[in-house]
Structure 1
């Protein structure tokens, strides 16, 4: 007879996951929207700045590669706390290193730590999101990623305001970093203990935890690798805007830093819009048609941004680029987590392939941008978006995924999960410690 487990209350669990995604978005936007100021404070060339972004991406890859093993040992709750603390402290370090010390090496080191913290947090919060999806019986991952995008909108708006007021990056990053630390210390208390997460057997200590060999074997599965290819292309589409959009419009169109931050804000608003509407679109059409249509929209929008030097039309192009890029990453995460037993390992593998875009993209675009201009360098991104469109068939829904029906969620349903009363553990639920 199975041991009883306590089913997490769905409402606070879901709220906590939304909050973690939003905090991560604020963190990223604080760095992204102030890239022109950071570059100027350090007085570096475009290709040298590309190396800084490469350092952040390299840290992210390290965090991603180790994330499934760290989660298996510590559980997502602790990993999220560790990851957000690391990114918050390194954000403070970045501001001090760039503005106060004017130290390229200090800024680079801070960005490496920033990337590692962001990488492990990314996997952990997506695994938590997959757990909420299965408990609720509906694919709502785009809404969690919409929360990340809302965070980026907030972060970009604050960055634009403080840039317009002439506030230094050190003060800006310092205040934001402290507020993020306070917020995560509260939010993490709402996440359930890892040993009672339903249907996520490789999450945290316990008899159902996967082995090191099992977690590595995920890399031999063609479906996971093709899902990774989808995420690679769409992460390139999203990441290139995060890393280069503000600089591209400042350098390529001759606008000021405030306008550059607002351009990124348009992209972030489009990403948020696509992710909020994406759940209903996915319910209606399914993963594959939505992914293909999104890729085409992103490619068209990016082409407009590169070729059209007219503010209104370029703004529409940025919006289309963001709207088309919005669903690739969350849908890829949901598809990777279709098998709940190996959710952390599969999400980590797919995210690692996707984050390869963040590893090679910044220096490639940076070096190309130094030679032909940042806007022209973005043609590389458009090619990878089309590759993602071709690979989209790998994300097709499988039986028992959250996107199927509420009945497909093992162990708990939406109504039952709202109660904290003890419930009998199903074969997919993890026994209590």
Structure 2
């Protein structure tokens, strides 16, 4: 592996670590944010629509912008919007304004939609160039970021630091890192096939929109992204409101979830090499379903809190493994990755507000049955991630 490719890999790790830190910073403070702005569960769901509007805009624009300007420019724009969103959110909390908090979440979602899709596309290309497993490590850095953010959130919640100071501090610390590491991502033309390259012609002619396997892979991504997003936005509140935890203990439960996610992603390479994509996806979805079932059905707070370990392990590998499967499923790697990630980020960022609206009427535990249903569908669809050559041989 060349030094330039090594620096590029590390830069992608950092650029995925930053959204993880940022999202867990405000997730661990959601009970305090809700109280400061005086929001009910339904109103909190409406506030979270800000992140959905932003993410939908980013997702819809990401493919066009990456095609026109390259992954570097889009990743820079997206990741820069994330700390901007944190600053606006902090201002909204200080002013006790639901609308300003929602605006900050809109900036945050726009940055996430643009930045993470661009980074995923670049990561899939790096995986192909290096001929080594990369995507689960990349997403592991996001999860490691959530651990760091959750530890800080737990400590600062216990120390009673105001939310606005907490979010502003995270924004100020992450901005210089973005400015430094983005320079190691090559510009639009670097690492891309030339206009007359046969591979490029094959990619343009690849009818990937007609590939049924891609839609099943997209269903898997949607399920695990919904499972992760539901925890990111609602787990502390779920534990406080439904299981009687304190705000600090609710933050600690989210930290446990983040640790389980990170463990699953960093250890995933061993299980993928030993058991293959299909078995890993199927086992992960089953683990997640069992853990989520215990959170929903158990009236024992200790058992419910411990069950998030299974929830986190189950949600950890589906997204990166499915992206790898999509990227290697045909010649148009970028187009295939864009297609499946759209569904994932829709679920990750638009699903939680919908769960909030259900939770207001039926309770958050009941709302989580939607997530459980999708995880069970992922168990059924797991065969779609089988490598194409293996899939063909199995049909002969």
- TM-score normalised by the chain length of structure 2: 0.92
Find the aligned partners of 2:49 and 2:177 in 1 and give their Cα distance: 28
Aligned to 1:17: 12
Find the aligned partners of 2:56 and 2:133 in 1 and give their Cα distance: 27
Find the aligned partners of 1:308 and 1:339 in 2 and give their Cα distance: 40
Query: How far is the alpha carbon of 1:220 from its aligned partner?
Result: 4.0
Aligned to 1:300: 290
Q: Answer yes or no: is the 8 Å Cα contact 1:68–1:344 preserved in 2.
A: no
Find the aligned partners of 1:96 and 1:340 in 2 and give their Cα distance: 46
SS of 1:123's equivalent? helix
Question: Could you give the per-residue CA deviations for residues 82-129 of structure 1, whole angstroms, max 9, x where no partner exists?
Answer: 1111111111101111x2222222111221121111011111111221
> Is the aligned partner of 1:186 residue 2:176?
no
Give the alignment partner of residue 41 of structure 2, picking from 41, 46, 67.
Answer: 46
Find the aligned partners of 1:214 and 1:106 in 2 and give their Cα distance: 43
SS of 1:40's equivalent? helix
> Is the aligned partner of 1:110 residue 2:104?
yes
Q: Answer yes or no: is the 8 Å Cα contact 1:124–1:344 preserved in 2.
A: no
Query: How far is the alpha carbon of 1:217 from its aligned partner?
Result: 6.4
- Note the 1:393-432 alignment, pairs <5 A: 393-398=383-388
Query: How far is the alpha carbon of 1:219 from its aligned partner?
Result: 3.9
Aligned to 2:233: 243
- Note the 1:11-410 alignment, pairs <5 A: 11-97=6-92, 99-197=93-191, 200-201=192-193, 218-338=208-328, 342-358=332-348, 360-398=350-388
Change (3 A) 1:174 1:227: same
Unaligned runs of 5+ in 2: 391-396
Aligned to 1:425: none
Give the 4+ runs in structure 1 shifted more than 6 A: 205-211
Q: Answer yes or no: is the 8 Å Cα contact 1:216–1:345 preserved in 2.
A: no
Query: How far is the alpha carbon of 1:154 from its aligned partner?
Result: 0.3
Change (3 A) 1:127 1:309: same
Unaligned runs of 5+ in 1: 1-6, 401-433
Q: Answer yes or no: is the 8 Å Cα contact 1:224–1:346 preserved in 2.
A: yes
Q: Answer yes or no: is the 8 Å Cα contact 2:51–2:350 preserved in 1.
A: no
SS of 2:332's equivalent? helix
Find the aligned partners of 1:384 and 1:131 in 2 and give their Cα distance: 29
Question: Could you give the per-residue CA deviations for residues 389-410 of structure 1, whole angstroms, max 9, x where no partner exists?
Answer: 111222111359xxxxxxxxxx
Find the aligned partners of 2:282 and 2:7 in 1 and give their Cα distance: 34
Question: Could you give the per-residue CA deviations for residues 13-39 of structure 1, whole angstroms, max 9, x where no partner exists?
Answer: 111111111111111111211111111
Find the aligned partners of 1:113 and 1:344 in 2 and give their Cα distance: 25
Find the aligned partners of 1:183 and 1:264 in 2 and give their Cα distance: 25
Q: Answer yes or no: is the 8 Å Cα contact 1:335–1:397 preserved in 2.
A: yes
Query: How far is the alpha carbon of 1:194 from its aligned partner?
Result: 3.5
Find the aligned partners of 1:90 and 1:217 in 2 and give their Cα distance: 38
Change (3 A) 1:297 1:178: same
Q: Answer yes or no: is the 8 Å Cα contact 2:223–2:378 preserved in 1.
A: yes
Q: Answer yes or no: is the 8 Å Cα contact 1:22–1:148 preserved in 2.
A: yes
Find the aligned partners of 2:200 and 2:173 in 1 and give their Cα distance: 36
Find the aligned partners of 1:32 and 1:219 in 2 and give their Cα distance: 35
More helix as a share of residues: 2
- The higher-RCO structure (CA 8 Å, 6+ apart) is 1
Q: Answer yes or no: is the 8 Å Cα contact 2:208–2:330 preserved in 1.
A: no
Query: How far is the alpha carbon of 1:195 from its aligned partner?
Result: 2.0
Find the aligned partners of 1:362 and 1:14 in 2 and give their Cα distance: 31
Change (3 A) 1:72 1:332: same
Query: How far is the alpha carbon of 1:356 from its aligned partner?
Result: 2.8
Q: Answer yes or no: is the 8 Å Cα contact 2:228–2:348 preserved in 1.
A: no
- TM-score normalised by the chain length of structure 1: 0.84
Q: Answer yes or no: is the 8 Å Cα contact 2:18–2:174 preserved in 1.
A: yes
Change (3 A) 1:210 1:123: farther
SS of 1:286's equivalent? helix
Q: Answer yes or no: is the 8 Å Cα contact 2:226–2:348 preserved in 1.
A: yes
